[in-house]
Structure 1
Amino acid sequence: MNQWLHSWRAAIRIARRDAWRSKGRSFLVLAMIALPILGVSAFDLTLRSSELSAEQRTERAIGAADARFRDAHVSGVPVYQDPAGEQTTPVKDYDNEPWPDGPTDVRKSIPAGSTVLTDSSGNAKLTTAHGLLLTEVRELKAADPVARGIMRIQEGRFPEKSDEIAATTHFLESSGLRVGSAVTARGFDRPYLITGSYELPNELKMDQVNALPGAFLAPYGKAVEKAGIQAPGVSTSYLVQKPGGFTWNAVQEINAKGVVVVSRAVALDPPADAEVPLFQKDGWGNYDTSMAANAAALAAVGTVVGLAMLEICLLAGPAFAVGARRSRRQLGLVGANGGARSHIRAIVLSGGLVIGVAAAVVGTVLALILTFALRPVLEDAMGQRFGGFTIRPLELLGIAGLAVLTGLLAAIVPAVTASRQTVLASLTGRRGVRRGSRVLPLVGLGAVLLGAAIALYGSVVSDQFVIVAGGSAIAELGVVAMTPALVGLFGRTGRWLPLSPRLALRDAVRNRGRTAPAVAAVLAAVAGTVAVATYTASKDAQGRAEYEARLPYGVVAALVTEEGGRDAAAVREAVERTFPVDVRADVSRIAVGKPGCEPWGGGKGCGRFEVIVPRANECPLWASSPDGSDPSEKFTKEQRRELSTKDWRCTASTGNGVYVEGGLLIADAPVLKILGIDDPGAAKALAEGKIVNFLKTQVDRKTGTVGIKLITDTEAADAAAQKNQPVPGEVKTFPAYQVPGSPLSYGVQSVLSPAAAKAAGLTTVPMGAYFSTDRLPDGEQRQKLDGEIAKLGSNVELTLEEGYVSKTSLVLLALTVFAGLVTIGAAGIATGLAQADAEADLKTLAAVGAPPRVRRTLSGFQCGVVAAMGVVLGSAAGVLPAIGLRLTEEREQLRFYQENLDNGWASSDTPPYVPIVVPWETLAALLVAVPLGAALLAAVVTRSRGALARRAAH
């Protein structure tokens, strides 16, 4: 045992000395191993530090209170909830009954003698240095000890008077205000003084202001309602503190009153799933990550780590091999003095051990320093404060162990090779002749055939992506195993090449121990890049074919639906000032109830309208039935397929477009021109007071009219709709002009002129405008418009139709650059090692009269040869998985399309288009530009003349 320890100690000392002597090579290998360790360790530290304990989560949610009570909005009926208070549902099932949707007086469920704080939230548009900013207003006495921990004061103090507020630091940054500034809200002139800044630990990017209870939301709501604007909705919960807290049994008792409770005691000591009634109810459950999902995640992580280690070993292994050859005389002396082969293997393996340990220490220490130093930046990027700087020593040791393992794995093959050399060959510097392995290529060929068969099965028979990916990975590993034999095949082309490339190719073939790993590393990177690039280009081609424009090319829609279109005129002017507008068409919408109501009603005094579809025009597959049953069940599979693809009532469509309530625009003839409707009859009909219709299912074929129903009582309408009864409301009828054919109107189903709407007694409010442009606005013009709209503070739905915009060009460029960098890096490493390994040959060339440029061209061709072989093999290996995945997707989409046909949901009898597209530009860049660039770069950085050296004595 002692002898074994002494021999390894001596081996480690020798390896440490050799690593220090060859600083350049050692630093290269150390950096390759340490960088992944740095990244993984930093990720682990960040992840663990961002995880909050149950106590920390509870403190940020309810402060120092024992519980938060909130209304479940189910009219006070008993509810079930999960322990966290995030999921809730009534105890009773309401499948065939109206859903309970009413408020509950939460205060009646709070135990007597409790300390209670009211916590209310709403929204308001606050004045800023730049204009208006939609901000959450939270009324909570934040300075109270019960609320401690919810908000963290950063500067100044929390409000103490009704005319004071505090603001989050993010709001102050966004608004350009500071502590001491005054703030007002739109439609509410009362000023508020900012007395302090605070942050929400879980939401650092939240724009929020804090006021005392009753100081802002109630008077603001009254002011805006008086101005004809719908008041914002306010949600209220209660922070409750009570001796003894609230156990799970107490929470369930309160649930019986229709109230949801977030309890500190339950959060710190949650009940078992069997004790939670919600999880026992059909359709509900504890949706924590399943074992299968965990296994899949671990498999994915293991695959990525394994591939990264393989890549490092492929690149670092030749460096150890060259180091062993340069130290062969020293290793020969070890053998000459009685050292066994195991001692030589130990010396070379110790090199990997020394560099692995150094990489582990450097990577871990740098990760600790960087994560600690960048903690504020990481917290801002994640949007929440860490619970603390958490270090898991065992996890960091495990990650560091990967570095040591990688170093040892990279040194195994060089160690075995060095130990097989005879003492005489080591002392004389002769390399000897050793035939390549005949078993490894056969194993690789078998893996290629097996992987291809698995991938083919996954793409043609099975629908599992993992089978295709697994088979492709096996095939790629088989190609890696065949790399030495394939390098030998490439060498046979040298007879037709000039001197320098022939010498480079011969050197690569003779020294497959350092050439094959570099080629394999390039192969792996390029194969992955080609696979992703092919798959991405194919998806892009499919997306282009399936793209539906929302508007005609170059058309802009700027729509405002809040506050009764108060800012519509200002938005129209802003678009005209900043964009190259050709034609402008102002549009309005029908308002039912108060002018400030939002579309589709909602709120007191607000209604909505519906464009009536006559009963005879309803699609039989979708028509409502009196008993509430599915109407499509009355038809056979063939009938459903025929109706969904042939019947005009089911296939009528105006295309995908900007959302407009009811598909109805109140506008004049210019909107027809902007939408591309070239029909003189439509403009004439609009001028005559008719409603121009693009969706013929809305036109009553008997009377030739379109009906618009005005619904003032939305609650009664919803109740009638649930019971499949006619919805009550006043109907306005207009003579219709049906545009011939099936014109593409981009979601607009009908257009009515403002004059006709006024004559019919309809109330309309401005909504914005549609614009056609002379040319697409550039980036600067878009930024100017965004700034103008931000100053208004309006919620504007701005749509600019640019046609199909491919998002894959940047992805393909990034992949090409990544593969190019890996290729150049691996080829450069191989070239540097080749120069160090073949210095004697270069001196021999110089001695026999070779010109100085031969050294430079030889270096360039050595780099180019490695890059070219890796790129060619990688490109061939990378296409297979992409094709397999696309074939699997095609089968899946065809099956889904067939199911839609059978169920009557398909709107076309055209099967899905799933193309396979090879990105020739990316392949050309990899096959031509990358090897050529690598060769030129190597030639440029190589010196023409080497250093003179005296002849070695033997």
Structure 2
Amino acid sequence: MSAVPVALRIARRTAWRARGRSALIMVMIGLPVLAITAVLTLNATMNVSPREGLVAEFGAADARLMRVPDGTVLRQRPNGTSWSTGGDGATAPGRSAAEVGALLGPGTRLIPFDTGVLQLGGERVEALRTDLRDPLTKGMWTLSEGRLPAAAREAVVTSAFGLRPGDQLRPSGAAPLTVVGVVEHPFRPSLRQVVGPDLPLASVEEFWSPGEHGTGWLADTAAPVSWTGVSALNGAGLYVTSRAMMTDPRSWARAPASDVQNTVGVGTMVIMVVLETVLLAGPAFAVGLRRRRRELAEIAAQGGSAAQLRTIVLADGLVLGGAAAFVATVLGIGAGTLGAPIVARWGGTSGPPEVPWPPVLAVAALGLLAGIVAALVPAVQAARQNSAAVLAGRAPAVADRPGWPLVGAALVLAGLAATVVARRQPGSAWVLASAVLVLLGLVVLTPWLVRATGRPAARLRLPLRLSVRDAVRHRSRTASAVAAVMAVTAAVVALGIGAYSEYMDQRNAYTSARPTGMLAIWAGNIGDPAWSRLRAEAARQLPGVPLAAGYQARDAQGHRYALRYTVRWNGIRTRRTAAIGDQSLLTLLQGRHDPRAAAALASGKAVVFDAAALRDGKLALRASSTSGPARRLDVPAVLATPADEHQGGALLPRALVEQAGFATAERQLYAMYRPSAGSTLGRDLAKVTPRVTVASEEGYRNVPEPGLWGWLGGALVLVVGGTLTATRLAAADMRPEQATMVAIGAPPRMMRVLVAGQALYIAGLGALVGLLAGTVTGLALTRPMTTHGAGDPATIAIPWPFLLAVVVGLPVLASAAALLTRTRPPLVRRLL
């Protein structure tokens, strides 16, 4: 009989006899496979392809067309869409439905399909204006309750609103809408949208991009709308998406250009997963080897060759790795499929269940490979063991290879040099790839580190001295566990420093033109009588609250202008709108009375809170309007200190704006006031005029970074699990020493201290080395993760409590868990 089937049968029987150890190995190998498979399946299911989303996009129509803003130059091609809104091209006239139908050819039928927002008090929600009873919209929505709207002022809402038929919606400045039904989007369960044939859509004054809000139609055409006719429709000021375009192979079968960074990132992840799995599962395989040494020695004594012994041990990795990969793959696919609809309810899309088989099978093969590689070192040891010494009960001798420390040091130095170079590259993939070199070098150096740190053991008390000496004596087992803890700690520390630095960089990037606690009330393009009523209502709603006035700038034709400037804040280009006001508004913006700033404002100078915006005592402004020509202004300005640390902005006196040729009109109110959570101020003011906006500056919400502590939880499982696996092996190998201690009267708690000392040594050494490696990588990660262009310095922030919990807390927790390990006085046979 061939040796392989026999080895597999022995491995299966051994795995069943040692079910606890087998389960531990399968968990160590299967957890990464399960997590990656679940993420891959989740992403594939939540990623709705254009072909899958055809019905939700078009219903039964052949095409959807949308008007582009005046002055937009649009060009659609199979390999992408380009557009510009600078007004350099010819302005396309607004097309009517009849003209659009003529462009599409005879036999075309159009229905309105307008997308925008609905202003519901202080909330803006997505809205769609179309007739859902038309056959062209079939399949876009699923009616779950009530009926479809059939008359004006009727609408349906998505289930995310929590409304029922018969409820009412109250758009600002318009008659109420009656909810007659509840609908579901095929792929977006979290979507909040109102649909009806006669919705009062609010104007959206935002930068247009293809597929965003606008007026449009669904078209039923006699002939497919293909790419050949798109250029003419673009020239007519229409953005087009059609069924024929989406199903054209040129639109979806384009092979993306090779992304070197993505390839490096994926390769780095694969190496790290295999390395960590091997290091974690390796001690568990070593447990099996220690317990089977006598069995393997007997096989060798009966004529078994070294190759057959290796095959038997490798069969353990094949059986357990294959079983772990299979179970983890099935569970990962199930978790990803079932989790997609749940995650989509928090935001996103969820399509039909989809399993990306090539990457999933590759991950499963990776788990199988990790099991075999984890059993490789024990297999080599099994083939080299001295059968006579094992049968006599003597421990095998450990021989070091003097050249390995030099190889490890070379890898570490090469990794450090690569890290210095990678720090200057865009993206973090190169830094992580360089860190792999450092980790591989430290893994090779770990046996030498174990031996070197064991030399001071003579100064320790007896239990700890025995623990450290045993760890040094069994360096092959100890080094694997130390390297596993080191790799986990290094990865968590590096990602923790990088993520916390990015978090602090985003925190520092927070900026506002108003101090925290300021309430702003803005009116749109309304007349003086409406503003007077709005101002009186605001004063009535806010009794006793001082109100400071702000002003709008208008040209001679009545076009409203915004005076803006651009400044770099924390390395990011930020565009601000300068306020127009007097001394009362300046006092609110500064939080105090500043005589110097007040005198400058009174003399007709701008007061600026962004130092980088000033050039030779001037502030460069761009006056822009949606309906008038843009202008550039250079105004005299002085620098002042704002009320808040993260506050910027500028205040212009009315006289300065009027000297520039603009008229000013009071249309803004400011106050230091925080509305309560259930405040109806926005809805009450909207009753006066729908063109009102109420905003309250809440300041920066300093929420701790949740990802750090999630990684700490993952590190807890891996570090404690790997350490306890190694200490279990240590307890088995230390039976002679334990027998000696029992013989001289050592109490049972001394045995537990012996095991806990082993756990503290393994976890402590791995955590310290991992801290050094992770800190180097984390500091290197801060540059690509926190810089925003040339000359922008990196933000470096160290999460000290997090590092303390990782480097000190995890080893202490591992040793505390080892103290709970059950120890019994061993019975050891001794040779006389």
TM-score, normalised by the number of residues in structure 2: 0.83
Name 1:148's counterpart in structure 2: 138
Post-superposition offset of 1:535:
4.5
Separation in 1, partners of 2:237, 2:490:
59
In the alignment, is the contact (CA less than 8 A) between 1:165 and 1:196 conserved in 2?
A: yes
Name 1:10's counterpart in structure 2: 6
Separation in 2, partners of 1:47, 1:36:
16
Name 1:240's counterpart in structure 2: 219
Separation in 2, partners of 1:879, 1:743:
37
Q: In structure 1, which of residues 688, 694, 708 is the aligned counterpart of residue 607 of structure 2? A: 694
Q: Report Cα offsets for 1:385-417 as digits up to 9, x if no partner.
A: 30x222344543332222211110100000110
SS of structure 2 residue aligned to 1:374: helix
Post-superposition offset of 1:337:
2.2
In the alignment, is the contact (CA less than 8 A) between 1:80 and 1:89 conserved in 2?
A: no
Name 1:80's counterpart in structure 2: 75
Match for 1:770: what amino acid? Answer: M
* Residue pairs, 1:216-615, within 5 angstroms: 216-217=199-200, 235-271=214-250, 290-293=256-259, 295-386=260-351, 388-458=352-422, 468-535=431-498, 555-562=517-524, 584-591=545-552, 607-609=559-561
**Does 2:14 correspond to 1:135?**
no
SS of structure 2 residue aligned to 1:800: coil
Name 1:663's counterpart in structure 2: 579
Separation in 1, partners of 2:10, 2:517:
74
C-alpha change, 1:15 and 1:743, in structure 2 (3 Å) is: closer
Match for 2:152: what amino acid? Answer: S
Separation in 2, partners of 1:266, 1:536:
41
SS of structure 1 residue aligned to 2:404: helix
C-alpha change, 1:930 and 1:329, in structure 2 (3 Å) is: same
**Does 2:593 correspond to 1:678?**
yes
SS of structure 1 residue aligned to 2:263: helix
Separation in 1, partners of 2:258, 2:592:
54
Name 2:167's counterpart in structure 1: 181
Name 1:896's counterpart in structure 2: 790
Name 2:695's counterpart in structure 1: 797
Separation in 1, partners of 2:335, 2:193:
32
C-alpha change, 1:548 and 1:716, in structure 2 (3 Å) is: closer
Match for 1:510: what amino acid? Answer: R
In the alignment, is the contact (CA less than 8 A) between 1:560 and 1:568 conserved in 2?
A: no
C-alpha change, 1:559 and 1:859, in structure 2 (3 Å) is: farther
Q: In structure 1, which of residues 177, 185, 196 is the aligned counterpart of residue 181 of structure 2? A: 196
Separation in 1, partners of 2:483, 2:538:
59
TM-score, normalised by the number of residues in structure 1: 0.73
Separation in 1, partners of 2:508, 2:178:
56
In the alignment, is the contact (CA less than 8 A) between 2:742 and 2:825 conserved in 1?
A: no
C-alpha change, 1:692 and 1:200, in structure 2 (3 Å) is: same
Separation in 2, partners of 1:53, 1:918:
41
C-alpha change, 1:572 and 1:424, in structure 2 (3 Å) is: farther
C-alpha change, 1:510 and 1:795, in structure 2 (3 Å) is: farther
Separation in 1, partners of 2:622, 2:356:
65
C-alpha change, 1:851 and 1:787, in structure 2 (3 Å) is: farther
* Residue pairs, 1:50-89, within 5 angstroms: 50-74=46-70, 80-83=75-78, 87-88=82-83
- Mean alpha-carbon deviation: is it higher for 104-113 or for 865-874? 104-113
Match for 1:853: what amino acid? Answer: R
Q: Report Cα offsets for 1:699-733 as digits up to 9, x if no partner.
A: xxxxxxx9x9999x974534xx4xx8x99xxxxxx
**Does 2:831 correspond to 1:938?**
no
Match for 1:896: what amino acid? Answer: A
Aligned length: 796
Separation in 1, partners of 2:772, 2:23:
33
Separation in 2, partners of 1:832, 1:420:
23
Separation in 2, partners of 1:166, 1:517:
62
- Mean alpha-carbon deviation: is it higher for 241-250 or for 540-549? 540-549
In the alignment, is the contact (CA less than 8 A) between 2:45 and 2:337 conserved in 1?
A: no
Name 1:26's counterpart in structure 2: 22
Separation in 2, partners of 1:792, 1:826:
63
Name 1:642's counterpart in structure 2: none
Separation in 2, partners of 1:923, 1:480:
21
C-alpha change, 1:561 and 1:290, in structure 2 (3 Å) is: farther
SS of structure 1 residue aligned to 2:53: helix
Separation in 1, partners of 2:133, 2:188:
19
Post-superposition offset of 1:862:
0.8
Post-superposition offset of 1:493:
0.8
Separation in 1, partners of 2:609, 2:467:
74
% identical aligned pairs: 28
SS of structure 2 residue aligned to 1:134: strand
Name 1:206's counterpart in structure 2: 191
In the alignment, is the contact (CA less than 8 A) between 2:605 and 2:638 conserved in 1?
A: no
C-alpha change, 1:351 and 1:696, in structure 2 (3 Å) is: closer
Post-superposition offset of 1:243:
2.8
Separation in 1, partners of 2:248, 2:623:
54
In the alignment, is the contact (CA less than 8 A) between 2:519 and 2:694 conserved in 1?
A: no
Match for 1:800: what amino acid? Answer: E
Name 1:700's counterpart in structure 2: none
Q: In structure 2, which of residues 92, 95, 100 is the aligned counterpart of residue 109 of structure 1? A: 100
Post-superposition offset of 1:784:
2.3
SS of structure 2 residue aligned to 1:180: coil
In the alignment, is the contact (CA less than 8 A) between 1:440 and 1:482 conserved in 2?
A: yes
- Mean alpha-carbon deviation: is it higher for 781-790 or for 155-164? 781-790
Separation in 1, partners of 2:392, 2:568:
88
Post-superposition offset of 1:198:
1.1
Separation in 1, partners of 2:414, 2:599:
70
SS of structure 1 residue aligned to 2:258: helix
Separation in 2, partners of 1:150, 1:437:
69
* Residue pairs, 1:92-107, within 5 angstroms: 97=88, 100=91, 102-107=93-98
In the alignment, is the contact (CA less than 8 A) between 1:254 and 1:260 conserved in 2?
A: yes
Name 2:614's counterpart in structure 1: none
Separation in 2, partners of 1:38, 1:709:
55
Q: Report Cα offsets for 1:50-108 as digits up to 9, x if no partner.
A: 34454433222111111122223447x99532249954569xxx88x576265233531
Name 1:863's counterpart in structure 2: 759
Match for 2:560: what amino acid? Answer: R
In the alignment, is the contact (CA less than 8 A) between 1:50 and 1:385 conserved in 2?
A: yes
In the alignment, is the contact (CA less than 8 A) between 2:174 and 2:200 conserved in 1?
A: no
SS of structure 2 residue aligned to 1:153: strand
SS of structure 1 residue aligned to 2:398: coil
Separation in 1, partners of 2:153, 2:441:
74
SS of structure 1 residue aligned to 2:225: coil
C-alpha change, 1:672 and 1:99, in structure 2 (3 Å) is: farther
Q: Report Cα offsets for 1:774-821 as digits up to 9, x if no partner.
A: xxxxxxx9872678768988753322346xx76676565555555455
In the alignment, is the contact (CA less than 8 A) between 1:360 and 1:403 conserved in 2?
A: yes
Match for 1:440: what amino acid? Answer: W
In the alignment, is the contact (CA less than 8 A) between 1:585 and 1:671 conserved in 2?
A: no
Match for 2:173: what amino acid? Answer: G
C-alpha change, 1:952 and 1:378, in structure 2 (3 Å) is: farther
C-alpha change, 1:79 and 1:41, in structure 2 (3 Å) is: closer
Match for 1:946: what amino acid? Answer: R
C-alpha change, 1:251 and 1:861, in structure 2 (3 Å) is: same
Please report the RMSD computed on the Cα atoms of aligned residues, expressed in angstroms.
4.6
In the alignment, is the contact (CA less than 8 A) between 2:59 and 2:137 conserved in 1?
A: yes
C-alpha change, 1:45 and 1:696, in structure 2 (3 Å) is: closer
SS of structure 2 residue aligned to 1:327: helix
Name 2:147's counterpart in structure 1: 157
Match for 1:328: what amino acid? Answer: R
Match for 1:717: what amino acid? Answer: P
In the alignment, is the contact (CA less than 8 A) between 1:611 and 1:662 conserved in 2?
A: yes
Match for 2:301: what amino acid? Answer: A
Post-superposition offset of 1:316:
0.8
SS of structure 2 residue aligned to 1:339: coil
